[in-house]
Each structure stands twice: as C-alpha cells, then as structure tokens.
Amino acid sequence: MKPLRMLAAGLAALVLSGAQAALAADTNIAVAANFTEAAKEIAAAFKEKTGEAAILSFGSTGQLYTQISQGAPFEIFLAADDARPVKAVKEGYGVEGTEFTYAIGKIVLWSTDAGLIAGEETLKAGDFDKLAIANPQTAPYGAAAVEAMKAIGVYAALEPKIVQGNNIAQTFQFVQTGNAELGFVALSQIAGKSEGSRWEVPADLYTPIRQDAVLLKKGEESSGAKAFLDFLRGPEAGAIIEKYGYGTAAGS
C-alpha cells in the first residue's frame, strides 16, 4: 500500500504544479519604444521578486495602439502619451479606472559629434544636413520635437533636413550610426552615456510627455498583469525609471 500512497502523492504534486504553472502565465505588455531599456530592467526586477515573466513588445505608441485595436494579445499598454490609454478605455480596449502616469519623458538634442551641439543656436545656425526625429504622427517624442522647434522658430527652415524614424528607437539609431548628424531623442536613451554632445530641451518648449499605463481588457482577469502594474507603481520600479532620466508622477 505504501508505494500506492507514494504514487498518489506524486500525482497530486504534479497536478498542483500544473495548476500553479497555469496561474503563473506570462504577461504580454505593449511598451513605447522610448521606454525599452527601463522596461527591460523593470521586467527583470519583477521576475526576480515574483517569479512571473513579463513579455515585452516595443514600438511607437501609435503603432502599438493599432495592434491593440486589431486584437493583439496585449494585457498592459505602456504608452508614450496620456491620450491613447484614455482612448483605449473609451473604445473598449482598456479597463476603466486603471490609467496612471508611470513616467514623464524628456527630449534631448543629441549628436555623436562632441563639438556639434551648442544649445538652440545649433538649430538656428542649421549647419548640418540631416536632423532625425520620430514620426510626429505616431510617436509623442516626435510631436514634442516639432513643438519645440516651432517654439524656437526654426521648424520651417529645418523641415527639409528632417528624416523621420518610425519610432524613437529608430531615430536614435539614425544618429548613432551617423545617418543623421544630430536628432531629437529621449533623454532615457542616452542616460549614462558621456560621448557626443547634447542639449536637454527646456521643458517649457513642449507639452510635458506624460506616459500613462492602462490595464487592457485582455488582462482584466490576469493576476500577473495586475501584479506588474502594482510593481510599476512601487518604489523599486520608480528608482529604475528615474535612473533612466524620466520624471515620475510622485516627483512632479
């Protein structure tokens, strides 16, 4: 009888293990491209703390929203603005009352050439061939770049020199590889880098880039998705967010 009891106990353990594995399903998260490195670090910290995995998909906010509206299996949306999470709720893709600001983004004019950028005077002089920005129609960081150039009064003169990335990650690559001499990138992308030259664009030249998160309907019953959002609100994630050059709602 003892072997039978041991077999039964073993089978029960396997069933329990399977049930726990089912409960600990991965959480699929749509993440704005500017938040790539910070999100990776937050996801790693979340897994270390909870044992649950966050599967991250990156893109421009507009592109990600299109995917969400077409049925992509995302459970959480980390946008680069505060408009699309609200839109997601209004259009039935997001869970009402779950929106919150997880980061406040900042733009910076950056070049790998250490002697190129000297504040807004570099834009006024226009002594360069190509200026990279993210697509302002789909990427909030691109819209902020256009707004800043218009505030300085240089947009009309510089428009012929502008090359657009599909998102802020591609825009950064244009500058990093020398396909554009300089460009407007997210401060988070060059946090910790000392090479090149830069000008952190004054916050009064563009509308604050409030980046909001929202729980999507596909994650409404997911304990993992809710746990990740709780973690994102917490001090451990907040420290990572600030490390990458973002402001936080708590500090604004």
Q: What is the pLDDT of residues 134-151, one digit of tens each?
A: 999 999 999 999 999 999
In whole angstroms, give the CA distance from residue 217 to residue 106. 30
Quote the pTM value.
0.80
5-51 pLDDT tens trace: 544 444 444 444 443 433 457 999 999 999 999 999 999 999 999 99
Same domain, 51 and 84: yes
- Rounded alpha-carbon distances, angstroms, from residue 81 to 67, 121, 143, 167: 16, 28, 10, 13
Q: Classify strands 209-215 and 162-165 as parallel, antiparallel or unpaired.
A: unpaired
- Count of domains observed in the chain: 2
Same domain, 123 and 29: no
Domain hosting residue 61, numbered range: 2-104+209-251
- Helix segments in the chain, DSSP class H: 2-23, 36-50, 61-69, 83-90, 120-125, 140-152, 155-158, 168-176, 223-233, 235-243
Same domain, 97 and 147: no
Supply the pLDDT for residue 250. Answer: 63
DSSP annotation of 132 reads E
Tens digit of each residue's pLDDT, the chain (252 residues): 445 454 444 444 444 444 343 345 799 999 999 999 999 999 999 999 999 999 999 999 999 999 999 999 999 999 999 999 999 999 999 999 999 999 999 999 999 999 999 999 999 999 999 999 999 999 999 999 999 999 999 999 999 999 999 999 999 999 999 999 999 999 999 988 889 999 999 999 999 999 999 999 999 999 999 999 999 999 999 999 999 999 987 654
Same domain, 94 and 160: no
Same domain, 160 and 213: no
* CATH number of the domain to which 239 belongs: 3.40.190.10
Same domain, 130 and 194: yes
